[in-house]
Structure 1
Amino acid sequence: MGKDVEVGHHGEFSAKDYHDPPPSPLIDAEELTKWSFYRALIAEFIATLLFLYITVLTVIGYKSQTDPALNGDDCGGVGILGIAWSFGGMIFVLVYCTAGVSGGHINPAVTFGLFLARKLSLIRAVMYMAAQCLGAICGVGLVKAFQRAYYVKYGGGANEVAPGYSKGVGLGAEIIGTFVLVYTVFSATDPKRNARDSHVPVLAPLPIGFAVFMVHLATIPITGTGINPARSLGAAVIYNKNKAWDDQWIFWVGPFIGAAIAAFYHHYLLRANAVKAFGSTRSSPNV
C-alpha cells in the first residue's frame, strides 16, 4: 500500500510517515476457520466477565457500607469516586491484558464503532458482542452468588434512569458519554500516532481507562453510567426487575448512537479517510 497523502500549503500533497491498515471485509467467513478468532472471543468473554464481577461488587459493597441499618451511620464507603475508579481501573487493566489478543473491546459500543470504521468484519463484530454479553451475564451471576444477601436489596448494579431525570436526559447522557469513550479509543489507537510515537500502543489503555473514569463521575447520578450495552444487559438479566428492563433500550440506543458519531467524527472528519471515502480532491489555493 502506498503512502497516504495530506494537503499542504498551496495545494501540494506530501507523503505521510505512516500507513493505514486496509479496511476489513464486510463478510470474512475465513475467520471462522482460525483459532485466533476463537481465542479472541474467549478473551472478550473472560474480560467482560471480570469487568462486571469487580465493578458490580464494588457498587453493591458501597451501598451496603452506606446503609444506616447495617452501619448505624453513613460511613461513606468508597463513594462515587471509588466506583468510578473501579470501572475506569478495570478497563485500563483489561484493555492492557487483552489488546494483543482481541483488541480489548470489552464493550459492544466500542465494537460497533470500530465496525463502522471498517476495523473489523461483520462476523467478528457480531460474535464479539455475543461473547461480551454472555461474559457480562456470567460476571453478574457470580456477584449474585457471592453477595446473595445484598444483591437484590441494593439494586444488583442495574442501570436505571435516576428519579428526577427524564428518559431523554438519560439517553443524552449515554450518547455523550459513549462518544467520549469511543472517540478516545480511536485517538489512542490511531496508526498515525503509533507511527510517530512508538510508546503510544503501550499507553493506549491509560487514556481509555481515564475516559471511562471521567464519564462515570459525570453520569453515575443520572443513569448509573452504562456506556456499555453488555454491562447494562448483564445486570438487567440477573437482577430482572421491571425498572431495569423498562430503561434497557436507553443503554443500547444511546451507546450505539454515541459510538456511531465518534466513528464518523474521528474516522471520516479528522482523518484522511474522508478523502478516501468521498473521493480525492485538491484544495484550491484561493480558498
Structure 2
Amino acid sequence: MEGKEEDVRLGANKFSERQPIGTAAQSQYESKDYQEPPPAPLFEPGELGSWSFYRAGIAEFIATFLFLYVTVLTVMGVVKSPTKCGTVGIQGIAWAFGGMIFALVYCTAGISGGHINPAVTFGLFLGRKLSLTRAVFYMVMQCLGAICGAGVVKGFMGDSQYELLGGGANSVNAGYTKGDGLGAEIMGTFILVYTVFSATDAKRSARDSHVPILAPLPIGFAVFLVHLATIPITGTGINPARSLGAAIIYNKAHAWHDHWIFWVGPFIGAALAALYHVVVIRAIPFKSK
C-alpha cells in the first residue's frame, strides 16, 4: 500500500514543469511586479490647467488629420482609376488605413495614448483609462482633425472631381441592409477596441517588457483586417471621426442617410469590447479588495 502511495506521489511530480493558465497565471505576478492602477476620475478639472492636456489634444488633431489625408486620398485614387488592376485596390486601401494607424499610434502613444478614433476613446473611457474631461476633448480634436484632413484632399482633387468620386464618404453599399451595416460596424469596432485593450494592458506591460514596443503593430493589423472584411459592406467606418470628416466635406444626401450607423455601431462595439476586457478577461469586478 505504501508503494502504491509512493508511485502516486512520484507521478504527481513528473509534471512539475506545467504552468498555470488563465487567472491562475495572472495571480502569480500579482504580488511581484504589478499593482492594479487606480481608475481615472470621472472629472479632473485640474487637467484644464496643464499644458500636457492640450498637447495631447493637439497630437490627436494632427494624427487624425494625417490619417484622413492619406487614407481618403488613397480611396480617391482607387475610385478614380477605370481599372482596379491599375491601382492598389481594396487590399491597398486596407493597408493604407492599417499602416497609418500603426505609424500614428507609434508616434503619438507617448503623448496622448494614440487613440485617433472617438470609438477607441469612448471604450477606454468606459474602462476608466481616462477622465470624461479628456475623453470629450480628444473626441472634439479628432473630429476637427478629420474634417481638416478630408478638406485638404478635396483641395487636391478639386470640387467636381472630389464629388464625382464620392469623397471617401461611408455608406451602406447596395445589396446590404442597414442592419448588415450596423452589425459590421459593431463587430469591426469590437475587434479594434478589444485589440487596443489587449495591446495596452498594463499588467501585460509589467510582465512582458516587449508589449509596449509592439502595441502599435497588432492595432494596425486589426484595422487592416477589419477593412478587408467590411469594405464591401460599408466602406468600413469603425471610426466616427473618419466618417464625419468625409461626410461633412463631401456633404451629399446619401452620405448622411446612413451616417448614424457610423456612430452608433462603433460606440456599441467599443462598449462591448470594454465590458469584455474588464469583466471577462481581467475579471476586475470580481477581484478581492
Scaled by the length of structure 1, the TM-score of the pair is: 0.89
Equivalence map 1:203-222=2 (5 Å): 203-222=214-233
- Aligned to 1:85, the other structure's residue is in SS state helix
Equivalent residue, structure 1, for 2:12: none
Which residue is equivalent to 1:187?
Answer: 198
- State the alpha-carbon separation in 2 of the partners of residues 8 and 74 from structure 1: 51
Q: CA deviation at 1:75?
A: 3.5
CA gap of 1:74–1:226, structure 2 versus 1, over 3 A, is: closer
Partner of 1:52: 68
Paired with 2:200 and 2:29, the residues of 1 have a C-alpha distance of: 25
Residue number in structure 2 paired with 1:20? 36
Q: Which residue number corresponds to residue 38 of structure 1?
A: 54
Aligned partner (choices 116, 126, 140) of residue 116 of structure 1: 126
Alignment-derived partner of residue 261 in structure 1? 272
Q: Match for 1:137 among 129, 141, 147?
A: 147
Q: Distance in 2 between matches of 1:200 and 1:262?
A: 20
- Change over 3 Å in CA distance of 1:14–1:91 after alignment to 2: closer
In structure 2, what is the equivalent of residue 243 of structure 1? 254
Cα deviation code 1:101-154 (max 9, x no counterpart): 000000000000000010000010001000000000000000000111521111
2:6 is matched with which residue? none
- The aligned counterpart of 2:4 is none
In the aligned structure 2, how far is the partner of 1:58 from the partner of 1:166?
26
- Match among 159, 178, 184 for residue 167 of structure 1: 178
Query: 2-side partners of 1:179 and 1:239: how far apart?
Result: 27
Measure the CA separation in 1 of the matches of 2:155 and 2:29.
61
Shift of 1:15: 3.2
SS of 2:256's equivalent in the other structure is helix
CA distance in 2, matches of 1:129, 1:176: 21
TM-aligned CA distance change 1:137 to 1:74, over 3 Å: closer
Q: CA deviation at 1:255?
A: 0.1
Q: Which runs of 4+ in 1 moved over 4 A?
A: 6-9, 11-14
Alpha-carbon RMSD: 1.9
Of the candidates 143, 155, 167, which is equivalent to residue 156 of structure 1?
167
The answer to whether the 8 Å contact 1:174/1:254 transfers is yes
Relative to structure 1, the CA distance from residue 99 to residue 78 in structure 2 (aligned partners, 3 Å threshold; closer, same or farther) is same
Structure 2 CA distance for aligned equivalents of residues 30 and 16 of structure 1: 33
Distance 2:156 2:286 in 1: 53
Rounded Cα–Cα distance in structure 2 between residues aligned with 1:231 and 1:75: 26
Unaligned runs of 5+ in 1: 1-5, 68-72, 282-287
Are residue 83 (structure 1) and residue 93 (structure 2) matched?
A: yes
Give the direction of change, closer, same or farther, for the CA distance of 1:12–1:59 in structure 2 (3 Å limit).
closer
Task: Rate the CA distance shift 1:7–1:63 in 2: closer, same or farther, 3 A.
Answer: closer
Quote the Cα distance in structure 1 between the aligned partners of 2:193 and 2:29. 30
Secondary structure of the equivalent of 1:156? Answer: coil
Residue 64 of structure 1 corresponds to which residue in structure 2?
A: 80
Aligned amino acid, residue 139 of structure 1: G
Q: State the Cα distance separating 1:267 from its structure 2 match.
A: 1.3
Counterpart of 1:26 in 2: which secondary structure? coil
Which amino acid is the alignment partner of residue 107 of structure 2? Answer: C
The 8 Å contact of residues 122 and 135 in structure 2, kept in 1 or not, is answered as yes
Q: Percent identity?
A: 72
Give the aligned residue type for 2:279: Y
* Structure 2 partner of 1:229: 240
1:81 to partner: Cα distance: 0.2
- Alpha carbons of 1:196 and 1:13: their partners in 2 closer, same or farther (altered >3 Å)? closer
- Residues 1:104 and 2:114 are matched in the alignment: yes
The structure whose Rg is larger is 2
